[in-house]
Amino acid sequence: MHEMGIAQQLVTIALDAIPDDIENPRVEKLNLRIGKLAAVVEHSLSFCLEVISKDTPLEGAELVIDAVPVCLRCESCEHEWQTDTPAFGCPACKDGQVTMISGREIEISSIELADD
């Protein structure tokens, strides 16, 4: 289950992002962007974050996940498109030289702190 490793990294990054001058911070919401090809099981990640964030400012934070579609660009004709299939040939010129623009990312888009 690689979600545990991902959760550990997310907690580390989130905690490092909280300014030191905030006394007793509490994260209310953790907003993530996760690509469709990142192979992350949302329920498993949520469970792992719950376990790892215990006794930290992230404990009890709401997890909001924005699913990022797989977007590709053709290197020949520069056509860009979204896909849900593993066939990565350009629908415009049928060339197979494509670059993935998005779909594999795992990012923290924002952290919302509670106003206590």
Q: What is d(CA 53, CA 95) in angstroms, rounded to the nearest whole number?
A: 46
Residue 78 inside a domain? The answer is no
- Cβ neighbour number for residue 62 with a 10 Å cutoff: 11
CATH number at residue 20: 3.30.2320.50
Closest CA to 109 of 50, 47, 66: 66
pTM of the model: 0.85
Residue 35 inside a domain? The answer is yes
Q: Could you tell me the residue range of the domain that residue 13 belongs to? A: 2-69+103-113
Mean pLDDT rounded to a whole number for the chain: 94
Q: Which residues are annotated as a binding site for Ni(2+)?
A: 2
Q: What is the band of 66 on the pLDDT scale with cuts at 50, 70, 90?
A: very high
- Cβ neighbour number for residue 58 with a 10 Å cutoff: 24
- Backbone angles phi and psi of 11, in degrees to 5: -65, -45
Residue 29 identity (one-letter amino acid): K
Q: How many domains does the chain have?
A: 1
Residue 96 inside a domain? The answer is no
Q: Which residues are annotated as a binding site?
A: 2, 74, 77, 90, 93
Q: Which residues are annotated as a binding site for Zn(2+)?
A: 74, 77, 90, 93
